[in-house]
Amino acid sequence: MEVSCVVCSMDMAPWSVADRERHVNACLDAEATERFDCPTCGQELTDCDEQQRTQHVNRCLDRVENQDTEVNGQETATSGAETELQTQVNNKSDCGYVCKICGLDMSAIGLMRRIRHVKLCGQKFGVRPADMGGMEPAESIVARLDKKEEKRNAFALMMKSSKGQEEAATTGIERSNVFDVLMRGSKTAAVLNARKRPVPFKFTRKAIQRRRLLYPDFKCIQGTNPPFIVDGFQYACKENSSIYFLTHFHSDHYGGLTKDFDCGVIYCNEITAKLVVQELGVHMKYVHPVGMNIPVLVSDVQVTFMDANHCPGSTIILFRLKDGKTYLHTGDFRFHRKMLGYHALQPHIPTGTETIDHKGTIVGLQRLDGVYLDTTYCDPKYTFPTQQVAVDHALELMDKHIKQEKVLYLFGSYTIGKERLFMEIARKFQKKICVSKAKLKIIETFGWPSDAMQLLTTEPAATNLHVVRMQDLQMDYLTVLLAKHRLRQIHVYGIPYSEHSSFAELCDFVQVVNPHSIIPTVRWLLDR
């Protein structure tokens, strides 16, 4: 099957899906970045600033000037008359600033605009900067020569006429034009024919569907047919699969999922299913809610959803294939030792009482064939306390200030997430907590008991405990809030409450589970 890059048309058939995706992304990044090459030596200067580019171009042209000076010196020693003629022609070229490609007179524009013009001409007519040194300049469109000798500069040296043009001027031979430059020599024609122009990046429905076919390996459970795509709705199309899984309702996991979804069935937790229909408008017939800790069969694969300790509705998913291979997808999770007690994981978790054979293998233990691991904080620098320690710390801080009635307490939260922290405080002090109407509508899908729901209100004046967006806790917003209410003080307490596993917790989890393979699911670690 022929598989080619949609940008550069390179054949990618022998490559893996991950290599294809990386190549296409690199091509798209290159298309979006404006390239800058030195007009003299052809070296790429895209990453340099304007001053560095100018200095580089001047250095290159100084070398050209020195070479020309040596050549002119030799010619002077052999023929005085020829030297006088050469000097007159050079003075004409230096004053003209003629583009070597199209012949345009650029005397009235600045250095950087001249360089940009030459670059655009090269792109338009297929002439590379490295080939410009040996190119015969075209005739100037506007002949503008001053009698007064102008001061020589770097760009004038770069654009001055070649020796071949000087000879043509003295012998009356017609100069080459743009068509001659483009058609000159079989080598140029061969280069132009061999180089395929990049396919423009189209945004038509068909082009978008084609790009969706290139899903990365970590988005698909190995050995499943049709492929089980997990948290990969930006690749959702009927050509890829009809079976999709959503671990939880966070935008970096449901990204690409819209009300127009009709590619298959989405399997997810009951809370997540309600949010997908309510918040995204996906039709209910495409959403299949699955109960927690209950094995279900999906296309001959046994699937079990378990709590991920991340946010309401978040799950880790165990896939037991027909051939006996087993994979665990953690989605986003905060590991806790209580997870080792999940019934579905018992065959894969050592208890310490198993028998070990002469090869050092635990008898009767079924090692997981692979774990699709949440590697958000997979770095030793990420150390933070458990959620309970963070909650206890927040309660201690609140206890110091809660008796002050004229204090407003703001708790940052996402669309879904951090609910445990502010609800623990509301329960401890039996105070109502204010949330937005949109937030309350989302919380109503969680199935909380009535005593918890009674602690919530949408009336800001009813309580001094308010839940706000995380971005509303930035200092710019808080300063505006101070001015509005004529307050004098603000205290911001950072609570190290995380809903992702710390590095130490990831190590503990991997050491206990001990899978045959680990597949990271976070993009930054894959890039490393």
CATH classification (class only), 387-485: alpha beta
- pLDDT of residue 121 exceeding 80, the answer is no
Mean per-residue pLDDT, 198-203? 44
Residues 443-483 pLDDT 10s: 999 999 999 999 999 999 999 899 998 888 777 777 776 66
In whole angstroms, give the CA distance from residue 106 to residue 153. 13
Q: Tell me: pLDDT of 420 over 80.
A: yes
| Predicted confidence band of residue 282 (pLDDT cuts 50, 70, 90) | very high
Highest mean pLDDT among 14-28, 104-118, 422-436, 484-498: 422-436
3 state SS of 345: helix
Q: Calculate the alpha carbon distances from 100 to 77, 106, 166 in Å.
A: 30, 11, 14
Counting DSSP H helices and E strands in the chain, the numbers are: 18, 15
Of 65-74, 152-161, 272-281, 476-485, the one with minimum mean pLDDT is 152-161
Average pLDDT, the chain: 76
How many CB atoms are closer than 10 A to CB 173?
A: 11
Mean local confidence (pLDDT), 222-251 = 95
pLDDT value for 28: 60
Give the residue with greater pLDDT, 355 vs 506.
506
Q: Which residues of 498-520 are buried (b: 16+ CB within 10 A; e: fewer)?
A: bbbbbbebbeebeeebebeebbb
Domain range list for the chain: 1-33, 35-194, 206-380+510-527, 387-485
Q: Sign of torsion, CA 344 350 356 361?
A: positive
Quick check: 454 and 448 in contact, CB under 8 A? no
Whether pLDDT at 256 is above 60? yes
User: What's residue 298's pLDDT?
Assistant: 96
pLDDT at 366 over 50: yes
Binning pLDDT at 50, 70 and 90, where does residue 185 land?
Answer: very low
Question: pLDDT value at position 191?
Answer: 39
Does 517 score more than 70 pLDDT? yes
Do you find a cis peptide bond into 350, omega within 30 degrees of 0? no
Range with the poorest average pLDDT among 306-310, 411-415, 420-424, 426-430: 411-415
Looking at per-residue pLDDT, the higher value among 484 and 417 belongs to: 417
Mean pLDDT of 222-232: 95
pLDDT confidence of 94, banded at 50, 70, 90? Answer: very low
Whole-number Å distance between alpha carbons of 474 and 352: 49
The mean per-residue pLDDT over the stretch 494-521 comes to 93
Nearest to 329 by CA among 238, 222, 417, 446: 222
Which among 230, 511, 514, 503 has a CA at the least distance from the CA of 375?
Answer: 503
* Higher per-residue confidence, 257 vs 106: 257
Q: Distance from first CA to last CA of the chain, Å, rounded?
A: 30
Q: With 60 as the cut, is the pLDDT of residue 425 above it?
A: yes
According to CATH, what is the number of the domain 206-380+510-527?
3.60.15.10
Q: Which of the four pLDDT bands, split at 50, 70 and 90, describes residue 508?
A: very high
Q: Do domains 206-380+510-527 and 387-485 have the same CATH topology?
A: no
pLDDT at 18: 66
What is residue 363's predicted lDDT score, i.e. its pLDDT? 66
* Residue 2 confidence (pLDDT) above 90: no
Evaluate if residue 506 carries a pLDDT over 80: yes
Bridge partners (DSSP) of residue 98 are 105
> Region 19-27: what's the mean pLDDT?
65
- The per-residue pLDDT for 296 is 97
- What is the band of 368 on the pLDDT scale with cuts at 50, 70, 90? very high
User: Residue 196: which pLDDT band, with cuts at 50, 70 and 90?
Assistant: very low
% of the chain exceeding 90 in pLDDT: 44
- pLDDT for 361 equals 67
CA dihedral 307, 313, 316, 320 (to 10 degrees): 100
**Residue range 373-400: mean pLDDT, rounded:** 92
